[in-house]
């Protein structure tokens, strides 16, 4: 468990800030409460759970708010932030059956009996899901993380893995019981007809077998817990990086590929425990079992060792081929899935243009290569299993032959039938350990191409978020400007625009016009901060946008792009999203875009499900719904991209009216000439470029 350093609040509203500081310091983030005060100034009501999540997120720690029963409070990852009564936050540092320990920014460290604490606890908490601190800059190659290096940072995992290895060794040692049991029965019971010895041996081994079962049960629990912990932490780390990527990151990648990489991360725990740890234990016991064989018979030990070396050499030869086949399988599978995704995304165009035969040919070809390589890989595995079987059988023949020969021709009473049982079982266990070693190596090699796919994600530089104030009251945006801005999507293509300058003040309603393909929508993306300029600067209130704070800026703007989509949820949730529901504001927004009557006529009104499995809206209704979403968010800057492109003249009037009455900055990208009557400035995008 992480150590918590107490931070005491100075103001009645900063308990949440103090708790955030304690959490950050417990995860070795170099900051203090005084540092946070300079960056965040909560209002008199203090911070919300969401505000605390935002602070931790800014410093690279993923946290989630949960409603939790007090009886389940021990399921939180400690330390965690919990909400006391009267909107007060404390840090939960310890949970026992009798009491909990908290670090209270107002009172210091306190212990409360569970009966008392249950009365204080509000039922809400901020749980730390991710413990890694993430830089917002790209890493140098030498500083790049690997999945293994990230795994080593997981708190308490080293101890769990040590216990896992120890228990696996104990379980393997119990495998020695059966051959020893048979040996003792043969040499001391059957040969001497000693019933009392039989009873002693049976009772003794029964106790040992019980401990074997107990050890295996504990091992299963610890292994599963370790696997879950690794998968949970690595996936949280990856999600943390993913959501911090810029829009351009997603525009340049296939969603299917991103999902595949995230899925691969969730298998790394099994990879570490079932392959690497198993390999270590198998190597140890290969040596132990071979040593046991040598102790009984040096000659037989040398023969078994020679056979094992031949078997291992043959299997190792195929490792490189297996790795290559697995890489090919991964590549063909990814390409096939991309083709399926491409076909489905543009299904209407593909049907109209009769491209079914093209996609069919590509899919069949890629899938055939995928299956052929998979068949080759399976054949290699089956051949390996067959080789293991025949090698083991050959070793069995040699063991029996040389042991019997030794008894009849060279033995001076030193060997017994019990020794033959021991030799046979030790040989079986030895070859099983050798095979397990090789299978683990092959599985490591097989998984290596998959995990290479993940490295590009976990080492991806994140979008820059300024740590300026994003939670305290935000001053109105009075001006947004671009100075000498240029934008290129590729180093090998012409810039979308270059040397563009524009200044927009509060109260301005401007229309940006121009020919298609000249960069109007790209300019809207730049002004909304989701696309970064190749050169030049964006200024907000005469401050560079990174200094002003991108997160702060985004909280003050609303944007409706032409390609915005309807989400698979209710009308209400589509519009308000994660914001608080304000009934008056909500219905005023519906009224302003002309959707009020259409929504009321739906079978469940504002709670009607839209999208897949729900009501399908027309293109004009979708457009107005997306504009309503932008309007519901409180904003100083409103950016509308082609807001009337799917609307008839009657519905367009609603959009004209809302633009005319808008307070603040309003930027409209349009080809609608009638729209120009409702703005006070018109800019042709080509005229903005020097």
Answer whether residue 461 shows pLDDT above 90.
no
Higher pLDDT, 524 or 182: 524
- What count of other Cβ atoms lies within 10 Å of the Cβ of residue 536? 17
Phi/psi at 122 (5° precision): -80, -20
Cross-strand bridge partners of residue 540:
480, 543
DSSP-based three-state secondary structure for 307? helix
As a whole number of Å, the end-to-end CA separation of the chain is 59
- Look at residue 353 in the predicted model and tell me its pLDDT: 81
Same domain flag for 100 and 191:
no
Same domain flag for 227 and 113:
no
- Look at residue 492 in the predicted model and tell me its pLDDT: 47
CATH number of the domain enclosing 614? 3.40.50.300
Q: Which residues contact 322 (CB under 8 A, 6 or more apart)?
A: 377, 380, 442, 445, 446
> pTM, whole model, 2 decimals?
0.65
Answer for the pair 637, 665: CB distance below 8 angstroms, yes or no: yes
Percent of the chain whose pLDDT exceeds 90: 20
Same domain flag for 371 and 494:
no
Same domain flag for 486 and 529:
yes
Domain end residue (candidates: 458, 489, 511): 458
CATH number of the domain enclosing 63? 3.90.70.10
Same domain flag for 532 and 434:
no
Q: Residue 342: enclosing H or E segment and its boundaries?
A: helix 319-345
Percent of the chain whose pLDDT exceeds 70: 87
Same domain flag for 386 and 486:
no
The closest alpha carbon to 106, from 119, 125, 89, belongs to 89
Cα–Cα distance between 125 and 108 in angstroms, integer?
19
Q: Write the pLDDT tens digit of every residue in 514-558.
A: 888 888 999 999 999 988 898 999 999 988 988 888 888 888 999
Q: Residue 103: enclosing H or E segment and its boundaries?
A: strand 99-104
Looking at the domain assignment, is residue 325 inside a domain? yes
| Weakest-pLDDT range from 161-175, 634-648, 667-681 | 161-175
Check the CA dihedral 385-390-391-397 and report its sign: positive
DSSP-based three-state secondary structure for 533? coil
Same domain flag for 120 and 165:
no
pLDDT band at 472 (very low <50, low <70, confident <90, very high): very low
Phi/psi at 68 (5° precision): -140, 140
- Look at residue 468 in the predicted model and tell me its pLDDT: 46
Burial class of 325 by CB neighbour count within 10 A (0 to 12, 13 to 18, 19+) = buried
Mean pLDDT of the chain: 82
| Overall average pLDDT of the 602-606 stretch | 89
CA dihedral 463, 467, 472, 474 (to 10 degrees): -60
572 token code pair: 């209400």
Q: Write the pLDDT tens digit of every residue in 344-358.
A: 878 888 888 888 888
| Weakest-pLDDT range from 423-437, 454-468, 572-586 | 454-468
pLDDT band at 586 (very low <50, low <70, confident <90, very high): very high
Looking at the domain assignment, is residue 438 inside a domain? yes
CATH number of the domain enclosing 186? 1.20.1560.10
pLDDT band at 446 (very low <50, low <70, confident <90, very high): confident
Domain end residue (candidates: 423, 458, 493): 458
298-317 vs 319-345: helix crossing angle, rounded to 10: 30
The closest alpha carbon to 327, from 278, 255, 360, 376, belongs to 376
Q: Which residue has the tokens 């993923």?
A: 62
Measuring CA to CA, how many Å separate 636 from each of 133, 551, 663?
33, 14, 8
In this structure, what DSSP letter does residue 9 have? -
The whole domain housing 341 covers 147-458
Check the CA dihedral 465-469-472-475 and report its sign: negative
Total domains in the chain come to 3
Measuring CA to CA, how many Å separate 674 from each of 619, 659, 671?
20, 12, 9
Cα–Cα distance between 321 and 323 in angstroms, integer?
5
DSSP-derived pairing of the beta strands 497-505 and 479-487 = antiparallel
Same domain flag for 430 and 302:
yes
Answer whether residue 431 shows pLDDT above 80.
yes
- Look at residue 594 in the predicted model and tell me its pLDDT: 92
Cα–Cα distance between 569 and 583 in angstroms, integer?
18
Same domain flag for 177 and 92:
no
């Amino acid at each position: 468990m992480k150590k918590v350093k107490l931070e005491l609040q100075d103001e009645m509203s900063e308990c949440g800030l103090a708790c955030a500081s304690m959490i950050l310091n417990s995860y070795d983030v170099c900051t203090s409460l005084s540092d946070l005060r300079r960056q965040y100034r909560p209002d008199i009501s203090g911070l919300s759970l969401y505000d605390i999540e935002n602070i931790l997120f800014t410093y690279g720690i993923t946290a989630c708010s949960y409603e939790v029963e007090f009886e389940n409070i021990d399921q939180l990852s400690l330390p965690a932030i919990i909400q006391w009564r009267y909107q007060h936050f404390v840090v939960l540092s310890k949970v026992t059956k009798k009491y909990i320990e908290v670090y209270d920014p107002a009172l210091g460290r306190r212990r409360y009996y569970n009966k008392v604490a249950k009365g204080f606890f509000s039922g809400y908490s901020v749980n730390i899901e991710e413990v890694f601190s993430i830089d917002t800059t790209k890493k140098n190659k030498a500083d790049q993380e690997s999945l293994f290096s990230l795994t080593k940072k997981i708190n308490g995992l080293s101890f769990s893995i040590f216990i896992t290895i120890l228990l696996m060794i104990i379980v393997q040692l119990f495998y020695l019981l059966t051959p020893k049991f048979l040996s003792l029965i043969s040499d001391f019971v059957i040969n001497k007809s000693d019933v009392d010895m039989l009873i002693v041996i049976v009772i003794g081994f029964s106790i040992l077998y019980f401990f074997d079962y107990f050890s295996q049960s504990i091992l299963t629990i610890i292994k599963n817990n370790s696997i879950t912990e690794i998968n949970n932490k690595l996936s949280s780390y990856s999600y943390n990086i993913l959501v911090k990527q810029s829009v351009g990151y997603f525009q340049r990648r296939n969603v299917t590929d991103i999902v595949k990489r995230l899925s691969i991360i969730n298998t790394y725990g099994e990879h570490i425990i079932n392959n690497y740890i198993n390999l270590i234990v198998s190597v140890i016991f290969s040596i132990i079992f071979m040593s046991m064989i040598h102790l009984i018979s040096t000659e037989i030990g040398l023969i078994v060792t020679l056979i094992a070396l031949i078997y291992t050499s043959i299997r190792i030869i195929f490792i490189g081929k297996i790795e290559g086949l697995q890489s090919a399988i991964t590549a063909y599978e990814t390409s096939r899935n991309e083709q399926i995704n491409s076909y489905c995304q543009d299904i209407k165009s593909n049907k109209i243009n009769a491209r079914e035969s093209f996609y069919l040919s590509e899919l069949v070809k890629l899938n055939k290569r995928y299956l052929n390589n998979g068949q080759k890989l399976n054949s290699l595995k089956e051949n390996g299993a067959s080789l293991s079987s025949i090698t083991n059988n050959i070793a069995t023949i040699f063991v029996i032959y040389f042991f019997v020969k030794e008894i009849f021709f060279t033995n001076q009473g030193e060997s017994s039938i019990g020794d033959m049982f021991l030799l046979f079982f030790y040989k079986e266990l030895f070859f099983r350990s050798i095979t397990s070693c090789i299978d683990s190596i092959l599985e490591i090699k097989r998984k290596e191409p998959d995990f290479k796919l993940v490295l590009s994600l976990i080492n991806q530089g994140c979008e820059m978020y300024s740590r300026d104030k994003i939670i305290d009251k935000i001053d109105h945006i009075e001006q947004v400007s671009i100075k000498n801005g240029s934008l290129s999507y590729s180093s090998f293509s012409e810039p979308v625009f270059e040397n563009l300058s524009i200044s927009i003040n509060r109260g301005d309603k401007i229309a940006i016009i121009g020919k298609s393909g000249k960069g109007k929508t790209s300019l809207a993306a730049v002004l909304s901060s989701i696309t970064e300029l190749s050169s030049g600067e964006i200024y907000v209130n005469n401050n560079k946008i990174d200094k002003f704070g991108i997160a702060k800026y985004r909280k003050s703007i609303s944007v409706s792009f032409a390609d915005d989509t309807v989400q698979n949820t209710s009308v209400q949730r589509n519009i308000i999203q994660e914001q608080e529901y304000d009934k008056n504001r909500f219905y005023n927004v519906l009224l302003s875009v002309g959707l009020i009557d259409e929504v009321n006529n739906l079978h469940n009104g504002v709670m009607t499900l839209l999208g897949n499995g729900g009501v399908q809206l027309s293109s004009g209704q979708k457009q107005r719904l997306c504009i309503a979403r932008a309007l519901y968010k409180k904003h100083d800057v409103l950016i509308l991209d082609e807001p009337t492109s799917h609307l008839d003249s009657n519905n367009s009037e609603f959009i004209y009216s809302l633009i005319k009455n808008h307070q603040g900055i309003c930027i409209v990208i349009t080809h609608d000439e009638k729209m120009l009557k409702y703005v006070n400035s018109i800019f042709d995008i080509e005229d903005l470029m020097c």
